[in-house]
Structure formats: structure tokens, C-alpha cells
Amino acid sequence: MNINDELDVKIEKISNLGTGIAKVDGFVVFVENACPGDEVKIKITKLTKNYANANVVEVLTPSQHRVEPFCPMQKVCGACQFQLIDYDYQLALKRQIVQDALKTIGGFDINVPKTIPSPEHRAYRHKIQYPVSQTKVSKRLLAGYYRSKSHELVNIKHCPIQPEICDRIVDFIRENASKYGIRGYDEKRHCGELRHVVLRVSAYNKKVLVTLVINAKKVSKGLNDFASSIYKTFEDVEGVCVNFNSKQTNVILSDKTECLCGQDFIQEKILDKIFKIGANTFFQVNPKSAENIFAYVKNEIKNFDAPSVLDAYAGIAAFGIVVSDVSSEVVSVEENSESIKNASEALKQNNIKNVELHAMDTTKYLKSVKRKFDVTILDPPRKGCTKESLDETLKHTKKEIIYVSCNPATLARDLKYLCEKGCKIKSVQPFDMFCHTYHVETVVVLGV
């Protein structure tokens, strides 16, 4: 086998990163844009001693689960790897991804239940982050997503997984930025003003928060006027902010944001609770699917008689606030101070008295206290928890740990560690948060 070889293969299964898996004389080949059951002609694009990567040249015999993507940009955009697979089978594949991770990484032989579907399959994504660039000759502004495994920007005019207002706002920015002297960002030369457009759209009241990420340390008159123009043009825009990010980094948002027009937040509703969502606030991009997860966690906590709850890696304390009315007390711990500020405002708005907030790292907080909680909710970032944080969680939890994860691999690793320390897995439930992608959210309940 060599680079550029063309081979006929059958796709056997899906990898945890959404690529099809084929084998050539026992050698593993990861194939982009493939569905299990496909018989395809592939072209080898990368070769290592352990595996190869390949692209589909031709679909010879399609899988019974292969469908025509509803977005014409699916093959070039890189964002919706599963869009060529029928939705019910996407759910089955996500269940399999979780089950495989638990077995191969954690050593757990668990029959994972069916993935709970998202209530919305299209226009579900309520946060978008479009990188911005500019063509060399015409100086035309481009905004969209990167091609898979590249930094080549695909100009997206219509994205069906986002609310339609996003297309209109981004198109307005593309067409009018230059009138205000605003240039798109050149990543290689680190010049140009507008780096990203970040939109947050409320599923609750349809209002939009626009954030322009700029390669500058202050707001120019042109940018200020442009922000005002966006705000006046779209009645659903609640506010326009600017985020200052002049570092050469892949991080999209810095910690410095200034509101230029309107308000610096939108409101979102989860179950019966209202939250403020700012430019830098971590919040689930699919609010309707998030409601399913919050309801699942709340129902689990209802099994106890008014328990004390630790809400760790809390963000804006969404879990803590949602479960507060079935808990005696909740302690929400989050190191991001802006999130804690938003959580504090949500407590007032929802008239909640039994949630205590701490702007601290979870591990540092637990080391500083002696109190124990009946239930701990862990909702860490993709990298999962450290062994130290898991040890501290075990010390401070009396009955149950509810682990909410967006990464099956780190989830399986952390569950293995917790079970080695004496925990027992009581239930596993995957949820579809990111439709048409390989990403899957999972909630695991462990007895301590």
C-alpha cells in the first residue's frame, strides 16, 4: 500500500472520530465521509506503520443507511461528518461509540441503551463561531468553517443546522464590513481586524447576541459605527459586543469583552429556569437537547429526599439551579468569574435561595472544605477530570456521582479510575447534543 493508491474496500464500522473503518489485509484504514456498510473505492492520503487515512473516490454500493446530505456544503465544510447517514442510524452509531469506549478504555462490558435523540435535527445549533478571512485580490470577506483537517476557510452562505437569522447576520457582516474600513483577518501575517463572528441565539425568545472578535486592543470609529449598523438593521439582535484578541493563538475568545450596543447577554430557558448567556459564557449549543439531559439528572436526584448537592465544573450553575428545587442545598463551583457572575444573576431572577456559589477551581475548593454532599454532579470539559479532582470528589460524596461527559474516551478513563476506587456504575445514558456529528453527550450515574 502506498500514498495515492486506489483500493476497493468495505466500511466495517465507525471510529470514535466519525471516520469509517476499513481493513486491507488486516491493516486499518480510516476513511472520510463513509458509512458502515458502504462498498467504496478509496484513495490513500496518509500512511503510517499502524494505519492509513483515505478519501472516498466513488461509492460502489451504498450502505442501506447512506442518505443524500441535506446541506450541499457537507463534503467540504467539515462540520457535519454524519449528515450522509440516516438519523436513526446516527443514534445507533453514537451508542456504539460510547459502548466501545467503555469497553476498550474502561474495561466495562455494559449494554448501553439507545441514544436519546435531539428534539430538533435542523436549526438546532444556537451558538456559531465563524472564522473570518479576506480574499487576496478582490478583498472580499469570507466567513464560515474550515475544511476538515485544514485551515482553508469555506465560505458558508447557508447552514441548515443553525437558525436562519445567523445566515442573514453573517451575510450582512460580509457585505458591509469593508464600508467601515474593516478588513478580514490574515492568519499567516497576523493582520486584519475581524477574526471571528460569534453568535448566540436564544431558543427561548429568538434574540441574538453578536460578538465581533478583533485583532486590536481598542475599538475604532469604523468598528463602532459598524456595530451600530448591525444593531439597527436586525430587530432580533439584543446586543453587539466586541472581544479583543490580538494574540497569535487558536483560542477564539479572550477574557476581555466590551458591549458596544444594546445588552451584553441573551436569556435562555431550561425547563422552568431562566439564564443569562454572555459572549464568554459556557452553555450548551443545543438548548432543547440540553433540557433532556437536565431533566434526566433532576429525575435522578429526585430519588433522594432533599439531598445536598455539589455542582462541580458548574459554568453558570445551570445544573445547580435546575436541581435546586429538589435539593436541600446546592454548592456550585466554577473557576470562571464571569460565569459565576451570570449564575448569581440567575439565582436572583429565579428567586433561588439554596444555591451557594464559589468562583474557584473544583479541586482547590474541595481541598479547602470538610463538608460532604449526598450527590456530586461532575460536568468537566472534554479533557475530563484529573485523578486529584476525582479523589477529592470521592472524599466529599456520600451516595452518588452523576458524571456528565462530552467525550466518551475521557469518560471511560475516569470511570475506570472511580470504579477502581470502589464506585459502581448504576446507569449509562447517551444523548444526541450535536446532530449529524460524531460527538455524543453521556450521563453516567455511579454509586459511591
- Name the burial class of residue 146, with classes exposed (0-12), middle (13-18) and buried (19+) by CB atoms within 10 angstroms of its CB: middle
CA distance 200 to 233: 17
Q: Is the dihedral of CA 432, 438, 441, 442 positive or negative?
A: positive
The phi-psi region of residue 181 (left if phi > 0; otherwise alpha if psi is between -120 and 50; otherwise beta) is left
Q: How many helices (H) and strands (E) does the chain have?
A: 10, 22
Phi then psi for residue 359, to 5 deg, are: -85, 80
Q: Which three cell numbers stand for residue 206?
A: 429568538
DSSP state of 324: G
Give the amino acid at 42.
I
Q: Return all residues near 207 (Cβ < 8 A) that are at least 6 apart.
A: 201, 236, 237, 238, 266, 267
* Displacement of CA 313 from its chain's centroid (Å): 15
CA distance 237 to 211: 11
Q: Is 419 a catalytic residue?
A: no
**What are the distances in angstroms from CA 320 to CA 308, 314, 340?**
11, 7, 12
| Burial readout 396-424 (b: 16 or more C-beta within 10 A, e: otherwise) | bbeebbbbbbbbbbbbbbbbebbeeeebe
465560505: which residue's cell?
155
CA distance 312 to 360: 10
From the candidates 406, 419, 423, 435, give the one annotated as an active-site residue.
Answer: 406
* Displacement of CA 11 from its chain's centroid (Å): 27
- Reference 173, options 193, 189, 190; nearest CA is 193
Residues with catalytic function: 406
